Amino acid sequence: MGSVKVSFFLLIVILCLINGASSTTFTIVNQCSYTVWPGLLSGAGTSPLPTTGFSLNSSESRAISIPASWSGRIWARTLCNQNATTGKFTCVTGDCGSSQIQCSGTGAKPPATLAEFTLNGAGNLDFYDVSLVDGYNVPMTIVPHGGANGVGNCNVTGCGADLNAVCPAQLKVTVDAADGVAVACMSACEAFGTPEYCCSGAFGTPDKCKPSEYSGFFKKACPTAYSYAYDDGTSTFTCSGADYVITFCPTPSPSTRSVSRPPHPEAVNASAAASLAASPTLSVAFSLSVLAVAVSWV
Ligand SMILES: *[C@@H]1O[C@H](CO)[C@@H](O)[C@H](O)[C@H]1NC(C)=O
Ligand SMILES: *[C@@H]1O[C@H](CO)[C@@H](O)[C@H](O)[C@H]1NC(C)=O
Ligand SMILES: *[C@@H]1O[C@H](CO)[C@@H](O)[C@H](O)[C@H]1NC(C)=O
Ligand SMILES: *[C@@H]1O[C@H](CO)[C@@H](O)[C@H](O)[C@H]1NC(C)=O
């Protein structure tokens, strides 16, 4: 009886160690000269967040407490408004299709710059990256703070460059609502839909799917961000016990983004189907394997 109790106690302690006893703080900062509406999507099987979307004025920030072992993604929606007649909330870029400020479990319509996290993953490390695999809409960086010294590859990452204006013509998204100014930059997969650019079908493995001139455009401008699906080597970062600051427009630049007329989202040339790839399976598998070891002690 006593040994069962002790083992059970050990098991709890081990699970706490594995999953990280304290939660993580994300501070979301808007240094853009315009309002953004952050969207937050939790991966399948992870704890929900206290919010799934809100507005963030220029120069504002918001701290959010993130549950242990959370995985998911965060992005910025731009040029949003609420239709006075229908009450529907829509955004020109990054729209999550919920018709409300809260995204409530729906993801970003590409193109959108994504911050992706798997907290307390393999080896109890936090995995994070900024991805342009679904295209780009705003500059964004992830800056870790307070990570354990010398553990993981705990570096700043992201894409601080403004790529909309310099986006290749075939990828550029412009809208009347922004006076024809580019508001986003599609991935080649989004623009052309071929297996070669999407790393699907015959190109569905890392050895078959190679960088293209289009992914090269993103990689050159933003060397630490994912530029295509198998860009892992230079684009995944890891920390232990860190908090994270996610900044939109880390280096403020003069922007033409503010619009006088209400935006017309229907004018955007960008197809739907945000693919959700954030995977909590690694950390689950790891926790389960430890659980199995602990149980075998009982
Ligand atoms: C954000 O800006 C709007 C428009 O200027 C203002 O009405 C609102 O109070 C601001 N929100 C916050 C939290 O400061
Ligand atoms: C609001 O929605 C209605 C109905 O869909 C549409 O006809 C109208 O153009 C919208 N208004 C604006 C300002 O987008
Ligand atoms: C981390 O960032 C520093 C400073 O930018 C850089 O010198 C170093 O190479 C980076 N490390 C990795 C592993 O990317
Ligand atoms: C969207 O852009 C693609 C690629 O440039 C083009 O082939 C397609 O015709 C465009 N669609 C619309 C509705 O403009």
Q: Which of 272, 285, 267, 292 is nearest to 96 (CA)?
A: 272
For 42-75, the three-class secondary structure string (H helix, E strand, C coil) is ECCCCCCCCCCECCECCCCEEEEEECCCCEEEEE
Q: What is the CATH number of the domain that holds 151?
A: 2.60.110.10
Is 269 near ligand 4, meaning CB less than 6 Å away? yes
> Which segments of the chain have a pLDDT < 70?
1-22, 252-298
Residue with tokens 């860009």: 231
Is 153 near ligand 3, meaning CB less than 6 Å away? yes
What pLDDT, on a 0 to 100 scale, did the predictor assign at position 254? 46
Structure tokens belonging to residue 7 = 């083992």
Is 83 near ligand 2, meaning CB less than 6 Å away? yes
Please check whether residue 174 lies inside any domain of the structure. Answer: yes
Number of neighbouring beta carbons within 10 Å of residue 170: 10
Please check whether residue 11 lies inside any domain of the structure. Answer: no
Please check whether residue 47 lies inside any domain of the structure. Answer: yes
Distance 262 CA to ligand 2 centre (A): 10
Distance 85 CA to ligand 2 centre (A): 7
Structure tokens belonging to residue 107 = 């993801």
What lies within 8 Å, CB to CB, of 28 at 6+ separation is 38, 56, 61, 62, 63, 64, 74, 246, 247, 248
Residue with tokens 């427009």: 249
My answer on whether omega of the bond before 211 falls inside 30° of 0, hence cis, is no
Q: What is the DSSP string of 158-187?
A: EE-S--TTTS-TTTEEE-GGGTT-EEEE--
Is 258 near ligand 4, meaning CB less than 6 Å away? no
User: Any idea which ligand is nearest the CA of 37?
Assistant: 1
Count of domains forming the chain: 1
Buried-state track 123-132, b at ≥16 Cβ within 10 A, e below 16: ebbbbbbbbb
What pLDDT, on a 0 to 100 scale, did the predictor assign at position 275? 29
Please check whether residue 159 lies inside any domain of the structure. Answer: yes
Please check whether residue 12 lies inside any domain of the structure. Answer: no
Q: Which of 114, 129, 107 is nearest to 275 (CA)?
A: 107
Please check whether residue 18 lies inside any domain of the structure. Answer: no
Structure tokens belonging to residue 103 = 């995204």
User: Any idea which ligand is nearest the CA of 62?
Assistant: 1
Instruction: Please tell me the distance from the alpha carbon of residue 56 to that of residue 122, in angstroms, as a whole number.
Output: 33
Please check whether residue 4 lies inside any domain of the structure. Answer: no
Structural domain harbouring 262: 24-285
User: Any idea which ligand is nearest the CA of 154?
Assistant: 3
Query: What's the N-to-C CA distance of the chain in angstroms?
Result: 10
Q: What is the pTM of this model?
A: 0.77
Distance 58 CA to ligand 1 centre (A): 9
The two beta strands, 126-131 and 140-145, are unpaired
Q: Which residue(s) pair with 128 in the sheet?
A: 117, 237
Q: For a pocket test of ligand 3, which of 143, 155, 156, 238 has the largest count of ligand atoms closer than 8 A to its C-beta?
A: 155
Structure tokens belonging to residue 129 = 């990256």
Buried-state track 2-37, b at ≥16 Cβ within 10 A, e below 16: eeeeeeeeebeebeeebbbeeebebebbbbbebbbb
Atom of ligand 2 nearest to the CA of 262: 13
Distance 171 CA to ligand 4 centre (A): 9
Do the Cβ atoms of 198 and 103 come closer than 8 Å? no
Distance 111 CA to ligand 4 centre (A): 14
Do the Cβ atoms of 108 and 207 come closer than 8 Å? no
Residue identifier of the C-alpha nearest atom 7 of ligand 3:
155
User: Any idea which ligand is nearest the CA of 56?
Assistant: 1
Please check whether residue 96 lies inside any domain of the structure. Answer: yes
